[in-house]
Copies of this chain bind each other. A is one copy, B any other.
């Protein structure tokens, strides 16, 4: 039976959406493993639209779903339609979109809330004992939803960010950029990626290991 992996995107570009390298490398390694892949994103407006040239706000309005479709090459579904019973695992790439569009950790820190559809998806995979992968800053979403389960995860090496996740009940694990952590009890795999990476090859090393672990355990 071919395994089926859902990938949840949050826009297109690391300053206001999904981190593009992390998203593409997730898609690459899922596909190379022989698993089937389908992308999803919430059908909402982006919290902000940022110039990746100047880092200034563009004052525009863009759709998270339509911008995510750039990475997915049009083959994407509304997150509302993601049913855990149809997939063996779910993976969340990083980028500020994960912390601004899928939740508001980027502005609220430990007081953050998670988009209801994202929360529903994480709880559904967790309850079905299906693995959840989270890359870069995306473990913050998992910390908010599964902190009450004492979920273990990576976030990089910034003590302030790690402490914020621990306030949510999560246990932070220091890992190198090329490493992953796998919480066996909660079936959650995480890797620091661009929280630490100096280049795309380092991201590839961590993401390829995370995808391999997800495929192994699902």
Contact = CB atoms under 8 A, between A and B. Distances in A.
Contacts of A25: 24, 28
Interface size class of A (residues with CB under 8 A): 20 to 34
A112 to B, nearest CB: 24
A70 interface: yes
A13 B12 CA distance: 9
Contacts of A70: 12-15, 17, 20, 52
Interface in A37-77: 51-55, 60, 63, 65-67, 69-74, 76
A24 B66 contact: no
A199 interface: yes
Contact of A201 (B32, B55, B66): B32
Given A14-B73, A20-B73, A53-B65, 12 more contacts: A12-B12, A12-B13, A14-B70, A15-B70, A17-B70, A20-B71, A21-B24, A21-B27, A25-B28, A52-B72, A53-B74, A60-B60
